[in-house]
């Protein structure tokens, strides 16, 4: 599901924002409201992306949220020739509130 930053303002506080790693130094923004996850999009419907998670955090500094994390899927098993896991090898770590003035 997709949602704009404007629509998120009406849903405050947001449970969690996730800077989701897509590739080396490329992140998109995900908003978690309750159990639902939304890809945050701009007014044209394109996913909001940044080369730095701090830029994503700056975009949402005016919105009340409880937590921000960085999420990444590990390619370790694939890199060393291990078989595909049945479970997820996703890593999600807290990303502190960096005062961005």
Range with the poorest average pLDDT among 1-5, 27-31, 82-86: 82-86
**Residue 85 DSSP label:** P
Bridge partners of 83, per DSSP, are none
Residue 3 binned pLDDT confidence (cut-offs 50, 70, 90): very high
Vertex 33: Cα angle to 30 and 39 (nearest 5): 25
- Confirm whether pTM is higher than 0.95: no
| Pair type for strands 36-41 and 49-50 | unpaired
Q: What pLDDT, on the 0 to 100 scale, is given for residue 37?
A: 95
Judge whether residue 48 has pLDDT over 80: yes
**Chain segment 50-82, per-residue pLDDT in tens:** 999 999 999 999 999 999 999 998 766 666 777
């Amino acid at each position: 599901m997709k949602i704009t930053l404007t629509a998120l303002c009406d849903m405050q506080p947001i449970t969690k924002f996730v800077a989701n790693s897509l590739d080396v130094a490329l992140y998109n923004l995900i908003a978690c409201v309750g159990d639902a996850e939304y890809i945050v999009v701009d007014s044209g419907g394109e996913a909001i992306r940044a080369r730095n998670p701090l830029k994503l955090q700056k975009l949402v500094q005016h919105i009340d949220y409880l937590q921000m994390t960085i999420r990444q899927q590990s390619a370790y098993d694939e890199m060393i020739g291990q078989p595909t896991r049945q479970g997820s090898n996703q890593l999600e770590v807290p990303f502190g509130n960096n005062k961005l003035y």
